């Protein structure tokens, strides 16, 4: 992917995984401008890219979830129209309330576990749910009635292990549809901190300690 002239190397290095993952997932969900999107685990580095991307590509409503009330402003700045604090709100009911009882058109789930199960009844009839990550756990017990009666389309993606030709299609689509939004700053990585390569251990400790608000960058001399 070509780096837009408006972007430095530090910020560019924080984008490829997020861009590929989120746009690939939206493509699998057959997302179209004007649809509503729910993004779980939205304060992760990739989730924040998803919020910006959905908005830049014309989502009518972007709902984001977080477990930290302190990060609500971060999600609003990224473009979320509604923020759901999952520790003190029922995810399914909050989404239904925000969509007039219909549910969202598309779900990008980065959490898995019970959150994935809660997203099914929060998705509209004939809607699409794509699991991207397992920030909680890989196992989930779902209500098959919610899946079947709502005629849902459920997909799983892992672009780190995808077929080369599939990855090529995703990159090609990114260049045409997404990079213009990167060039004009509608999509930007949220940078938590920048470290020299000699500080790699400290950077890894910050990531493992869940202290980061966005991407951690290592610079190479």
Residue 218 has pLDDT above 90, yes or no: yes
What pLDDT digit, counting tens, does each position of 191-213 carry? 899 999 999 999 999 989 878 87
pLDDT of amino acid 205: 95
Q: What is the mean pLDDT of residues 86-91?
A: 91
Q: Which domains are present in the chain?
A: 9-161 (3.90.180.10), 191-221 (no CATH)
Closest alpha carbon to 195 in 213, 212, 217: 217
Residue 160 has pLDDT above 70, yes or no: no
Residue 83 has pLDDT above 90, yes or no: yes
pLDDT of amino acid 161: 65
Residue 166 has pLDDT above 80, yes or no: no
**Long-range Cβ contact pairs of 132-138 (< 8 A, separation 24 or more):** 132/21, 132/22, 132/25, 132/46, 132/108, 132/157, 133/41, 133/44, 133/46, 133/109, 135/41, 135/44, 135/110, 135/111, 136/111, 136/112, 137/112, 137/113, 138/112, 138/113
pLDDT winner (highest mean) among 162-166, 177-181, 200-204: 200-204
């Amino acid at each position: 992917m070509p780096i837009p002239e408006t972007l430095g190397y530090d910020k560019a290095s924080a984008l490829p995984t997020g861009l590929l993952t989120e746009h690939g997932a939206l493509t699998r969900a057959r997302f179209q401008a004007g649809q509503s999107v729910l993004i779980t685990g939205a304060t992760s580095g990739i989730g924040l890219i998803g919020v910006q991307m959905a908005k830049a590509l014309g989502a009518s409503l972007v709902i984001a979830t977080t477990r930290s009330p302190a990060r609500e402003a971060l999600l609003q700045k990224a473009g979320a129209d509604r923020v759901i604090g999952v520790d003190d709100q029922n995810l399914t009911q909050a989404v239904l309330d925000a969509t007039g009882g219909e549910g969202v058109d598309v779900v990008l789930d980065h959490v898995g576990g019970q959150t994935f199960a809660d997203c099914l009844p929060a998705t509209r009839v004939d809607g699409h749910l794509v699991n991207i990550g397992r920030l909680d756990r890989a196992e989930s017990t779902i209500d098959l009635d919610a899946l079947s009666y709502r005629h849902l389309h459920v997909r799983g993606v892992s672009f780190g292990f995808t077929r080369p030709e599939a990855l090529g299609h995703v990159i090609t689509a990114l260049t045409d549809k997404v990079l213009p939004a990167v060039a004009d700053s509608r999509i930007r990585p949220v940078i938590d901190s920048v470290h020299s390569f000699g500080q790699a251990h400290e950077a890894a400790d910050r990531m493992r300690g869940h202290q980061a608000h966005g991407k951690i960058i290592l610079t190479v001399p």
